Structure 1
Amino acid sequence: MAWGIAIFFACIWLVVTLVPFVFMVMNSFRKQFDMLSQGVFHLPDPWYFQNYAEVMTHGFFGYFFRSVFVVAVSLVLMLMISAFAAYPLSRMKFRLRGITYAGIVAMMSVPMHVTLIPIFKMTTNMGLYDSLQALIGPYVTFALPMSVFILTAFMTTIPKEIEESAEIDGCNKFRNFFSIILPLSKSGLSTLAIYNGVSMWNEFAFANTLLQTASNKTLPLALGQFKGEHSLDIPIILSVLVLSVLPMIVLFIIFQDKLVKGMMAGAVKG
Structure 2
Amino acid sequence: MKKKFKVGKIFVALLALIWLVIAGAPFYFMVASAFKEQFEIFTAGVFSIPKGLYMQNFKEVLEGDFYVYLFNSLFVVGVSLALILVTSLCASYPFSRFKFKLNKPLFGLIVAAMAVPIHVTLIPVFQLTQKLNLYDTIFALIGPYTAFNLPISVFILTGFMAQIPKELEESAEIDGCGKYRTFFNIIAPLSKPGLATLAIYNSVNMWNEFSFALVLTQSQKSRTLPLSIWEFQGQYNANIPMIMAVLTLCALPMIVAFAIGQDKLIKGMMAGAVKG
TM range (shorter): over 0.9
Give the counterpart letter for 1:117 in structure 2.
Answer: I
| Contact preservation (8 Å) 1:150, 1:266 | no
Q: Deviations over 1:186-205 (max 9, x none)?
A: 11001101111101000000
2:183 maps to 1:177: yes
> What per-residue deviation string (whole Å, max 9, x for no partner) do you get for residues 178-237 of structure 1?
111111111100110111110100000000000011111111111122223994321111
2:268 to 254, 262, 265: 262
Q: Does 1:83 align with 2:71?
A: no
Q: What SS is found at the alignment partner of 2:99?
A: coil
The question of 1:245 aligning with 2:245 is answered no
Alpha-carbon distance in structure 2 between the residues aligned to 1:124 and 1:232:
32
Aligned pair 1:30/2:10, yes or no? Answer: no
> 2:111 maps to what in 1?
105
Q: Output the TM-score relative to the length of structure 2.
A: 0.92
Identity %: 56
- Specify the alignment match of 2:71 in structure 1: 65
Separation in 2 of the partners of 1:208 and 1:215? 13
Q: Where do 1:228-243 residues align within 5 Å?
A: 228=234, 231-243=237-249
Structure 1 residue aligned with 2:143: 137
Distance 1:265 1:120 in 2: 39
Residues 180 and 264 of structure 1: CA distance in aligned 2, closer, same or farther (over 3 Å): same
Consecutive unaligned residues in structure 2, runs of 5 or more:
1-6
* 2:4 paired residue number: none
Cα distance, 1:63–1:246 mapped onto 2, change above 3 Å: same
Is residue 2:18 matched to residue 1:12?
A: yes
> Counterpart in 1 of 2:170?
164
* Equivalence map 1:208-247=2 (5 Å): 208-228=214-234, 231-247=237-253
Query: Are the counterparts in 2 of residues 30 and 235 from structure 1 also a CA contact under 8 Å?
Result: yes
**In the alignment, residue 256 of structure 1 is paired with which amino acid?**
Q
User: Matches of 1:172 and 1:2 in 2, distance apart?
Assistant: 53
Amino acid at match of 1:147: S
Assess if the C-alpha contact under 8 Å between 2:111 and 2:155 holds in 1: yes
Alpha-carbon deviation of 1:7?
2.4
In structure 2, what is the Cα distance between the partners aligned to 1:180 and 1:168?
Answer: 14
Q: Give the TM-score, by structure 1 length.
A: 0.94
RMSD of equivalent CA atoms: 1.8
- The answer on whether the counterparts of 1:230 and 1:236 sit within 8 Å (CA) in structure 2 is no
Separation in 2, partners of 1:53, 1:46? 15
* Per-residue deviation, 1:44: 2.1
Runs of 4+ in 1 over 4 A off after TM superposition: 266-269
Residue pairs, 1:46-57, within 5 angstroms = 46-57=52-63
Q: Which runs of 5+ in 1 are unaligned?
A: none
Of 211, 216, 221, 1:205 maps to: 211
Deviations 1:143-187 (A, max 9, x none): 011000000011111111112111111111111111111111111
Distance in 2, matches of 1:249 and 1:42, equals 24
Query: For 1:16-47, what per-residue CA distance to the aligned partner results, in whole angstroms no more than 9, with x for missing partners?
Result: 11011111111211112333322233322221
What amino acid is aligned across from residue 201 of structure 2 in structure 1?
A: Y
Contact 1:151/1:266 (8 A) holds in 2: no
